């Protein structure tokens, strides 16, 4: 049982850009840092690395932001940090993080916690979205960039927001034909992001890279269109696509059918706030930032003492925001433990990156009309096979709070704990696409773990 309990000055959850940035800064200053990460290698979703031993062989250029990613990965690897990969954190209290790792129940005890759990794809249900081969844009990226696996022959990319572009370029780099790339927002709505991109040098370089890459490939982003349905026998074989109006409502009668064998849907990201909520952090709802976000002060402190939060958990913002906030949180922890003042440059960098990303994301806030893609028999909760009609009836009978709908039809009661259906469940059940979800209900275990992990959890006897 000796290594069942780890101890550190700082425990970091997540080895994406925010967690890596915080960890390497803290380790450089001599603090003992343990990073718990659910992935197989450091990098998070944005800087996914191929498995140990291989590198990509193609001559496909990477976006300029990945230079910063490589630098961060290098600094993180060089820092004296203990990384626990494949760790699922399932319970937490200030100074304590319980996790399952390689089938074992373990505990990390630490003075400070930095939460950098990232975000996950927002899902918009449509008929046929449960067919194998229909997945999130993030899943496609992981497949290509994290494992070097070819997703299929003919791909459809749909959704809304800046992440569609890297999804298309990843598919192209894997030799996949991108049959169509459909952005649900209108060109005019998306243009509102332009000032934020033009005014920020790094974002300008990034946008230029993708514009050129798409132009060379011949794939043209089609605006104001999305997927209406997917069909196939046991896996996706066809997609029905069509036009949507300015609010995202499908314009029936504009459909056409295309043959595809893989579909990537990226309708934005949802901050992974569960650990923050469990630890008592305040949250607020910000539609442009992806939903409920953990509230932090100007040095990334949550309302809970010694618990910091950085990156997407404070609202979707991207790698540059996460990195700057991670470095700021590290400086703030060093200020608390060592009395070193927080450098102004750190605060300014975090604020500047956050402002730039907020300005861009406002142009891609979720489109309310997309809830009309779902039909009465469309599955909304995939874990429990709950269809839209059942969720609507539950809302009518029991009330339209998240809890009431859940009790009425079991939506959100499965193993994903409403991470997939939750963000759109109340909007779907009420028919009001602009309806925000209630604050997420979190319960322990935060993710399904083995019963033995809970029974044998170390360090719970006297203190819990």
Partner 1 sequence: MSGRVPMHGERELVQFSFEGQEVTAWAGDSIAMALWAEGSQALRNSSRDGEPRGVLCNMGICYECLVVVDGVTMRACTTPVKAGMQVARGGRR
DSSP secondary structure, 415-431, as one string: TTTTTTTHHHHHHHHHS
Q: How far is the CB of 87 from partner 1 (least distance, A)?
A: 10
CA distance 334 to 337: 5
Instruction: Tell me the window of 159-167, 187-195, 245-253, 443-451 that interacts with partner 1 (CB under 8 A).
Output: 443-451
Pick the closer one to partner 1 by CB: 102 or 344: 102
The reply on whether position 286 binds partner 1 by CB under 8 A is: no
List all residues 6 or more positions away from 461 whose beta carbon is below 8 Å from its beta carbon: none
Binding mask 57-96 for partner 1 (x = CB under 8 A): xx---------------------------x-x--------
Instruction: Tell me the window of 71-79, 167-175, 321-329, 341-349 that interacts with partner 1 (CB under 8 A).
Output: 167-175
Pick the closer one to partner 1 by CB: 355 or 450: 450
Helix (H, G, I), strand (E, B) or coil at 193: helix
Interface with partner 1 (CB under 8 A), residue total: 59
CB atoms within 10 A of CB 431: 13
Helix (H, G, I), strand (E, B) or coil at 328: helix
Q: How far is the CB of 455 from partner 1 (least distance, A)?
A: 15
**In Å, how far from its chain's centre is CA 345?**
27
The reply on whether position 11 binds partner 1 by CB under 8 A is: no
Phi-psi region of 373 (alpha: psi -120 to 50; beta: other; left: phi over 0): alpha
Chosen residue from 65, 169, 173, 283 binding partner 1 by CB under 8 A: 173
The reply on whether position 52 binds partner 1 by CB under 8 A is: yes
Here the tokens at position 212 are 């050129």
Chosen residue from 53, 253, 339, 341 binding partner 1 by CB under 8 A: 53
- Torsion angle in degrees (nearest 10) through CA of 439, 327, 334, 289: -10
Chosen residue from 124, 144, 163, 180 binding partner 1 by CB under 8 A: 144
Measured at the CA of 142, the angle between CA 88 and CA 219, to 5 degrees, comes to 155
CA distance 29 to 329: 13
CA distance 431 to 405: 13
Give the burial class of 74: count Cβ atoms within 10 A of its Cβ; 0-12 exposed, 13-18 middle, 19 or more buried: exposed
Pick the closer one to partner 1 by CB: 261 or 353: 261
CB 387 within 8 A of CB 379: yes
CB 119 within 8 A of CB 25: no
In this structure, what DSSP letter does residue 301 have?
A: B
Residue 32 sits at φ, ψ, to 5 deg, of -85, 120
The reply on whether position 148 binds partner 1 by CB under 8 A is: yes
Binding mask 320-359 for partner 1 (x = CB under 8 A): ----------------------------------------
Pick the closer one to partner 1 by CB: 283 or 417: 417
CB atoms within 10 A of CB 433: 19
Pairing relationship of beta strands 386-387 and 379-381 according to DSSP bridges: antiparallel
Query: Alpha carbon of 221 to those of 92, 157, 182, 278, 306: distances in Å?
Result: 43, 9, 6, 40, 45
Chosen residue from 3, 218, 234, 455 binding partner 1 by CB under 8 A: 234
Q: How far is the CB of 50 from partner 1 (least distance, A)?
A: 7
Pick the closer one to partner 1 by CB: 143 or 293: 143
Instruction: Tell me the window of 169-177, 192-200, 340-348, 432-440 that interacts with partner 1 (CB under 8 A).
Output: 169-177
Nearest Cα to 165, choosing from 215, 128, 129? 215
The reply on whether position 261 binds partner 1 by CB under 8 A is: yes
Instruction: Tell me the window of 38-46, 71-79, 193-201, 453-461 that interacts with partner 1 (CB under 8 A).
Output: 38-46
The reply on whether position 20 binds partner 1 by CB under 8 A is: no
- Torsion angle in degrees (nearest 10) through CA of 428, 426, 393, 398: -170
Q: How far is the CB of 39 from partner 1 (least distance, A)?
A: 8
The reply on whether position 450 binds partner 1 by CB under 8 A is: yes
The reply on whether position 215 binds partner 1 by CB under 8 A is: no
Pick the closer one to partner 1 by CB: 130 or 430: 130
**Which residues ranging from 382 to 441 are in contact with partner 1 (CB under 8 A)?**
382-385, 414-416, 419-420
Q: How far is the CB of 35 from partner 1 (least distance, A)?
A: 16
CB 82 within 8 A of CB 35: yes
Q: How far is the CB of 367 from partner 1 (least distance, A)?
A: 21
The reply on whether position 459 binds partner 1 by CB under 8 A is: no
Binding mask 98-137 for partner 1 (x = CB under 8 A): -----x----------------xx-x------xxxxxxx-
Chosen residue from 5, 56, 61, 340 binding partner 1 by CB under 8 A: 56
- Torsion angle in degrees (nearest 10) through CA of 44, 46, 47, 50: 80
CA distance 428 to 386: 12
User: In the complex, which residues of this chain contact partner 1 (CB under 8 A)?
Assistant: 38-40, 45, 50-58, 86, 88, 103, 120-121, 123, 130-136, 138-140, 142-144, 146-153, 173-175, 234-235, 261, 272, 382-385, 414-416, 419-420, 447-448, 450
């Amino acid at each position: 049982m000796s290594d069942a309990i780890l101890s550190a000055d700082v425990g970091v959850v997540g080895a994406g850009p925010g967690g890596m940035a915080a960890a390497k800064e803290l380790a450089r200053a001599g603090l003992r840092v343990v990073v718990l990460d659910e992935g197989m290698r450091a990098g998070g979703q944005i800087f996914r690395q191929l498995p140990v031993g291989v590198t990509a062989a193609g001559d496909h250029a990477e976006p300029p932001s990945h230079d910063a990613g490589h630098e961060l990965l290098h600094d993180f690897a060089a820092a004296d940090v203990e990384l626990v990969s494949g760790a699922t954190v399932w319970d937490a209290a200030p100074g304590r993080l319980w996790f399952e790792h390689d089938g074992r129940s373990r505990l990390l005890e630490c003075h400070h916690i930095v939460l950098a759990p990232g975000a996950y794809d927002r899902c918009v249900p449509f008929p046929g979205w449960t067919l194998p081969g229909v997945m999130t844009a993030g899943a496609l990226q992981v497949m290509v960039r994290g494992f070097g696996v070819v997703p299929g022959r003919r791909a459809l990319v749909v959704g809304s927001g800046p992440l569609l572009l890297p999804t298309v370029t990843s598919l192209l780099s894997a030799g996949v034909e991108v049959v169509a790339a459909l952005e649900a927002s209108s060109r005019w709505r998306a243009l509102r992001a332009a000032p934020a991109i033009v005014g920020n040098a790094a974002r300008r370089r990034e946008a230029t890279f993708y514009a050129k890459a798409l132009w060379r490939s011949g794939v043209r982003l089609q605006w104001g269109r999305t997927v209406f349905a997917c069909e196939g026998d046991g896996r996706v074989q066809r997609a029905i696509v069509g036009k949507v109006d300015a609010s995202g409502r499908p314009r029936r009668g504009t459909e056409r059918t295309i043959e595809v064998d893989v579909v990537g849907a990226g309708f934005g990201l949802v901050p992974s706030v569960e650990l923050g909520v469990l630890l008592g952090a305040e949250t607020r709802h910000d539609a442009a930032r992806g939903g409920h976000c953990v509230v932090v002060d100007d040095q990334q402190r949550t309302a809970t003492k010694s618990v910091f939060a950085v990156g997407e958990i404070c609202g979707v913002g991207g790698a540059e925001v996460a990195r700057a906030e991670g470095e700021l949180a590290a400086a703030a922890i060093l200020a608390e433990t060592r009395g070193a003042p927080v450098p102004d440059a750190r605060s300014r960098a975090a604020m500047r990156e956050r402002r730039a990303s907020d300005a861009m994301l406002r142009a891609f806030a979720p489109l309310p009309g997309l809830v009309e893609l779902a039909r009465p028999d469309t599955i909304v909760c995939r874990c429990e096979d709950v269809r839209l009609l059942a969720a609507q009836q539950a809302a009518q009978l029991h009330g339209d709070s998240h809890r009431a709908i859940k009790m009425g039809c079991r939506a959100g009661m499965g193993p994903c704990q409403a991470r997939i259906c939750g963000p759109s469940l109340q909007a779907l059940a009420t028919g009001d696409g602009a309806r925000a979800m209630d604050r997420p209900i979190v319960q322990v275990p935060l993710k399904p773990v083995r019963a033995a992990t809970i029974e044998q959890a170390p360090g719970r006897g006297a203190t819990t």
